[in-house]
Amino acid sequence: MRKKIDIGKKILIANEEYAIRNNQFLAEQKKLCLNMISSPGSGKTTILVRTINDLKDKIKIGVIEGDIQTDIDAKRIKATKAPAVQIETGGSCHLSAAQVSSALKNLPISNLDLIFIENVGNLICPTAFELGEWGKIAVLSVAEGDDKPAKYPAIFAKSKALLINKIDLLAGAMVDFDIKRVKNDVYKLNKDIEIFQVSAKTGQGMAEWYNWLKESVKNIQSD
Ligand SMILES: Nc1nc2c(ncn2[C@@H]2O[C@H](COP(=O)(O)OP(=O)(O)OP(=O)(O)O)[C@@H](O)[C@H]2O)c(=O)[nH]1
Ligand SMILES: [Mg+2]
Ligand SMILES: [Zn+2]
């Protein structure tokens, strides 16, 4: 009797083949590629816009923007003059490696050092779909609550770095958020993860994130 493979598994296997090809392509080209994942509104695009502007003279950044609908985020990126390619998923709550493969063809890869993929705002589903990236970056904003790593562990377990964003809101106890608890919970899931506390709005803490990006680009290029 033929073995039954459920449809979800088949989709993931097909995705994996594209992801491996993207990964090989990016490795050959010595380009750092980071897949940014968070809930809607944690600040992914705001972080990217600030990072692109602040690192303009040091790292050449391109962006693949994933959204269910609209090119609002791609326009925000293009306003910085960085190249951006929009993927409208038409309802799907994650990017697929096949979509990223076509988007990569529309970026001026040879002129870039670093390619960010802003995934669809969703803390769960994008975690399961490898895109061929070198690493995942999780973003958690302090307004979402400090229990999120405990409740949604997969993304924190798989990420190379975590940006705890909107720390400006902690001033004057605008929100309750125990950073120590978050760090403890995240390190329990992933002892190697880098954690940065930032405000993409004020720029606080962003320098450490930039140093890590510069170091990561250097490592890929000297590989
Ligand atoms: N106070 C504060 N607000 C921020 C910060 N970063 C982003 N925001 C605000 O949070 C809102 C959402 O930011 P976006 O950058 O659009 O978030 P996103 O994760 O890209 O959202 P989606 O693409 O829809 O998932 C905007 O109103 C930003 O101005 C921050 O560090 N502090
Ligand atoms: Mg966005
Ligand atoms: Zn999905």
CATH, residue 105: 3.40.50.300
* CA of 129 relative to ligand 3 center, distance in Å: 8
Number of domains in the chain: 1
Q: Is residue 1 domain-resident?
A: no
| 46 pocket-lining for ligand 1 (C-beta < 6 Å) | yes
Q: Is residue 130 domain-resident?
A: yes
Q: Is residue 2 domain-resident?
A: no
Range(s) of the domain holding residue 126: 7-221
pLDDT tens column, 42-101? 999 999 999 999 999 999 999 999 999 999 999 999 999 999 999 999 999 999 999 999
Amino acid at 17: E
* CA of 38 relative to ligand 3 center, distance in Å: 13
* CA of 41 relative to ligand 2 center, distance in Å: 7
Q: Is residue 149 domain-resident?
A: yes
pLDDT tens column, 111-144? 999 999 999 999 999 999 999 999 999 999 999 9
pLDDT of residue 2: 60
Nearest CA to ligand 1 atom 6: 43
| 197 pocket-lining for ligand 1 (C-beta < 6 Å) | no
* CA of 139 relative to ligand 2 center, distance in Å: 11
Of all atoms in ligand 1, which is nearest to the CA of residue 39?
25
